[in-house]
Amino acid sequence: MEMKKSAVDLTDLALGIVVLGIVVSVGATILVNVRDTNDAASISYNLADDAATGLAEYGNWFKIIVIVGVAAVILALIFMAFGRGAGTVGQSY
């Protein structure tokens, strides 16, 4: 009996994107609250402001991360459908 290959599992990709979104949004909220409770001239204000700005810039990359993830899934499906799997021995004529 021949076993078929299973399709690509999207659970890891979806879970990773959700966790990344939660970490960035909660981290940015905490950093903005820390920034707002300090004086504008203090070191902790500048540090929290720079970190919040960095997380905001990182959040701008979500679209690209999702596009690359979806492209990887599509390529994996194409290679599974048309390509031979690793270790499969074929004969050329």
Q: Structural domain boundaries of the chain? A: 19-80
Distance CA 79, CA 66 (A): 20
Which amino acid would we find at residue 28? A
Q: Is 24 exposed, middle or buried (0-12, 13-18, 19+ CB in 10 A)?
A: middle
Put simply, whether the predicted model's pTM sits higher than 0.75 gets the answer no
| Digit-coded pLDDT (tens) for 6-54 | 666 778 888 988 998 899 889 989 999 999 999 888 998 999 999 989 8
